């Protein structure tokens, strides 16, 4: 049997169960915004255009988007991995913010989960009113409270270190990278 949850990348309940969920909703509702899991239909609501304000997205067709979405959803049905949260402007029917929790299973730390905060973006015209902080906090709470991650890491450009610092992320080692 299908339900509206079928179109979500993960169960909406995972967000609603967060102890700070009501606070997040109140902060967002001041701007006619809601937070929810990514939906397949967000292809038509500007999700990829939003990501293109973070980095190169390229020409992703609807078929390619659908295939990747289904791959992530299938992975989540086996074990938790991809938690993409979006912020929708309910008046404009547009995705204006997003963040991702990627979960990696470990043997270390007693078979713990390590979380990675990824692909945080807020549409340029919506910046400066605390939406970025809310999308980051949602992921922090999912990692901490729901998935009991032993740590949550991110990489970012130098100019965002202050922003993440205000959200309790401290410099720790170095990120090294090979570009292919």
| Binding site residues, ligand 16G, CB under 6 A | 54-56, 117-120, 154-156
Least distance CB 90 / ligand 16G (angstroms): 24
Q: Note whether 110 and 51 are within 8 A (CB).
A: no
- Which CB sits closer to ligand 16G, 78 or 175? 175
Say how far apart CA 128 and CA 146 lie, in whole Å.
28
Least distance CB 111 / ligand 16G (angstroms): 25
- Round the CA-based radius of gyration of the chain to a whole number and report it: 16
Q: Note whether 38 and 47 are within 8 A (CB).
A: yes
Q: Which residues contact 130 (CB under 8 A, 6 or more apart)?
A: 27
Least distance CB 116 / ligand 16G (angstroms): 8
- Which CB sits closer to ligand 16G, 107 or 180? 180
Say how far apart CA 38 and CA 42 lie, in whole Å.
7
- Which CB sits closer to ligand 16G, 2 or 55? 55
Least distance CB 34 / ligand 16G (angstroms): 21
């Amino acid at each position: 049997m299908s339900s509206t949850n079928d179109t979500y990348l993960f169960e909406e309940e995972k967000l609603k169960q967060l102890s700070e969920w009501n606070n997040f909703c109140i902060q967002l509702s001041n701007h006619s915004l809601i937070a929810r899991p990514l939906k397949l239909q967000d292809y038509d609501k500007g999700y990829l255009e939003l990501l293109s304000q973070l980095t190169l997205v390229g020409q992703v067709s609807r078929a390619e988007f659908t295939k990747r979405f289904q791959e992530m959803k299938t992975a989540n049905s086996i074990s938790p991995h991809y938690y993409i949260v979006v912020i929708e402007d309910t008046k404009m029917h547009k995705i204006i913010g997003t963040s991702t929790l990627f979960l990696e299973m470990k043997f270390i730390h007693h078979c713990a989960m390590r979380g990675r905060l990824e692909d945080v973006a807020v549409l340029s015209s919506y910046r400066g009113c605390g939406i970025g902080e809310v999308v980051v906090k949602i992921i922090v709470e999912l990692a901490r409270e729901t998935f009991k991650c032993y740590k949550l890491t991110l990489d970012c450009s130098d100019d965002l270190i202050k922003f993440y610092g205000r959200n309790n992320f401290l410099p720790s080692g170095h990120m090294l990278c090979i570009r292919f």
